[in-house]
Chain A
């Protein structure tokens, strides 16, 4: 409860300082509008510019890309650490792609997938999958050898060792890694939604930028932050519920 109060107080303090700095004219409003102007812009966007629809579209894109990345990264990451040969084959390729900046791949993705939804999902997936797969592989490598050997000596076969021991042991860190990479997925949203988009928060922010509507740009950024905050808290709650033994 004290921690929650401190978190709220810190957020209020930051917003208050921001408001004060903006009102005192320390920062020009076209660069950093005051929080009150951002709130007004946010209200206008909600009531007149269909912001909820754009939020829903962005959320759907992020989750589709993220789930695709997770569905692929979990088994591939496990295979990479379970079979040295698979790890040796994939790890250099994944490391190479992981360091490529996603914006650099926008032209290629347009050539490959056109300007439709596929490109947006692909770019979000790209920013998530290659990070997650290595995190999963590392988690798998950290499964205590004693646990595996205990299971083998009580008669578990390889599949049972995987399902009854390795995955159970990995559960908490896996969920943590999913939570972290979901956050990364959101950070690629703007890049994904500037590619011939006509919907999504990224599109809204990008359009507002063109007309130097800084309060609307800030409002869009704040919305992404709030979605991130709520999602993160929900996943933390799920973590506490699922892994009560920690």
Chain B
């Protein structure tokens, strides 16, 4: 579905500070869209508005044609900080995503928990508390919990920003695979160009605050849907990465 998530003349100010300029944009269903831009440019604010966690000052956001007015489980957030609940085990953290779902019975919930434990390689740690597992695993738990909730749209705010380079790479590969397999729409916020090019079907490049769209890059057309780790070493990847870097320098005036 094209334009599954739609920004319709969406703008946002916090008091006198204009954070997001009037923006109109459509994002396709089951695609991974990266919001790329300098730190503090307003890209997170745009994403939070999709989540219903912030309200646009003017304009609106539509999901499947329906106006977003408050948070609900169709749009799940994954934060940079580890947001796994420390008092719940890995298994119970994932179960928390379905805690308020009345459409699933206990057996269905248990089945989904098992599915996501396996999908994210967490089965051996089901009974562990978050402080006993690595940062990468904690982020897997957070993503699994969001998926278990039944979120159709994943809103990811620099979720791998606090991880070491190797874990980060591994999770990027996993995220691509899971997004395709589970048919989810992902909005991924980052200021890391390489991460953006590797993950994205499409990159929306934002200016410095107040955010406005300065470029819309169709990465899928250049790199295709499959993203093995080795793609990072290809000429195509390099060229695209450099192109995005130049765009950032030219369009935003920021040296990355």
A, B from the same assembly: yes
> A-side interface residues toward B, CB under 8 Å?
144, 146-147, 149-156, 160, 164-165, 168-169, 171, 243-246
Q: Is the CB–CB distance between B77 and A150 below 8 Å?
A: yes
- Which residues of A sit under 8 angstroms from B222, Cβ to Cβ? none
A244 to B86, CA, bound (A): 10
Q: Is the CB–CB distance between A155 and B101 below 8 Å?
A: yes
B179 to chain A, nearest CB (A): 18
The secondary structure that dominates the A interface is helix
Given A149-B53, A156-B100, A244-B129: 12 more A-B contacts, CB < 8 Å: A150-B142, A153-B51, A153-B53, A153-B149, A154-B99, A154-B145, A154-B146, A155-B99, A165-B85, A169-B87, A245-B88, A245-B129
Q: Is the CB–CB distance between B100 and A155 below 8 Å?
A: yes
Q: Is B134 an interface residue (CB 8 A)?
A: no
- Which residues of A sit under 8 angstroms from B131, Cβ to Cβ? 245-246
**Number of chain B residues close to chain A: CB under 8 A:** 30
Q: Is the CB–CB distance between B72 and A150 below 8 Å?
A: no
The secondary structure that dominates the B interface is loop
A160 to B101, CA, bound (A): 13
Selected contact of A146 from candidates B81, B88, B96, B100, CB within 8 Å: B81
Q: Is B24 an interface residue (CB 8 A)?
A: no
A158 to B151, CA, bound (A): 20
A155 to chain B: closest residue by CB: B100
A244 to chain B: closest residue by CB: B129
Contacts A153-B75, A155-B73; is A245 near B87 (CB within 8 Å)? Answer: yes
Q: Is B97 an interface residue (CB 8 A)?
A: yes
Selected contact of A164 from candidates B99, B101, B149, CB within 8 Å: B99
B81 to chain A: closest residue by CB: A146
